[in-house]
Amino acid sequence: MVDKPLGITVSRYIMDLQHMFPEAKGDLTGLLNELIVAAKTINAEVNKAGLADILGQSGKKNIQGEEVQNLDELTNNTIKKRMESCGYVCAMVSEEEEKVIPVKEGYSGKYTLAFDPLDGSSNIDVNVSIGTIFSIQKRITSSSDASSYDVAGTADDFLQKGNKQVAAGYILYGSSTMMVFTTGDGVNGFTLDPSVGEFYLSHKNIKIPKRCKYLSVNEGNYRHWDKNMQKYIEHIKDSEISSRYIGSLVADFHRNLISGGIFLYPKDKKDPNKKSGKLRLLYEAAPLAFLAEQAGGAAMDDTGKNILDIQPTGIHQRTPLIIGNKETVFEAVDFLKKHKN
- Residue 252 touching Mg ion (CB under 5 A): no
What residues from 52 to 71 belong to the interface with ligand AHM (CB under 6 A)?
66
Taking the complex as a whole, how short is the minimal distance between the CB of residue 45 and Mg ion, in angstroms?
A: 17
CA angle, 45 as apex, 39 and 48 as ends, to 5°?
A: 140
Q: How far is the CB of 117 from Mg ion (least distance, A)?
A: 9
Task: Please state, in angstroms and as integers, the Cα–Cα distance from residue 90 to each residue in 63, 118, 141, 280, following that order.
Answer: 22, 22, 10, 21
Residues 164-223 that bind Mg ion (CB under 5 A): none
Q: Which does 121 bind (CB under 5 to 8 A by kind): Mg ion, ligand AHM, none?
A: ligand AHM
Comparing CB distances to Mg ion, the nearer of 75 and 328 is 75
Distance between CA 113 and CA 102 in Å, rounded?
Answer: 11
Distance CA 284, CA 118 (A): 11
Contacting ligand AHM (CB under 6 A), which of 40, 254, 278, 326? 278
Of these, 27, 96, 119, 302, which contacts ligand AHM (CB under 6 A)? 119
Give the residue among 15, 16, 38 at the shortest CA–CA distance from 94. Answer: 38
Give the C-alpha separation, 76 to 66, whole Å. Answer: 15
Which amino acid makes up residue 172? Answer: L
196, exposed or middle or buried, with CB in 10 Å at 0-12, 13-18, 19+? exposed
Does residue 73 touch ligand AHM according to CB under 6 A?
no
CB of 115 to ligand AHM, least distance (A): 11
268 binds Mg ion (CB under 5 A): no
Task: Single out the residue of 72, 116, 268, 302 in contact with Mg ion (rule: CB under 5 A).
Answer: 116
- Between 186 and 247, whose beta carbon lies closer to ligand AHM? 247
Q: Which residue type sits at 281?
A: L
Which residue lies nearer to ligand AHM by CB, 87 or 120? Answer: 120
Q: Does 95 bind ligand AHM (CB under 6 A)?
A: yes
> 249 vs 332, which CB is nearer to ligand AHM?
249
Residue environment code for 135-154, b if the CB has 16+ CB neighbours within 10 A, otherwise e: bbbbbbebeeeeeebeebbb
Footprint of ligand AHM on this chain (CB under 6 A)? 66, 95, 116, 119-122, 218, 247-249, 265, 278
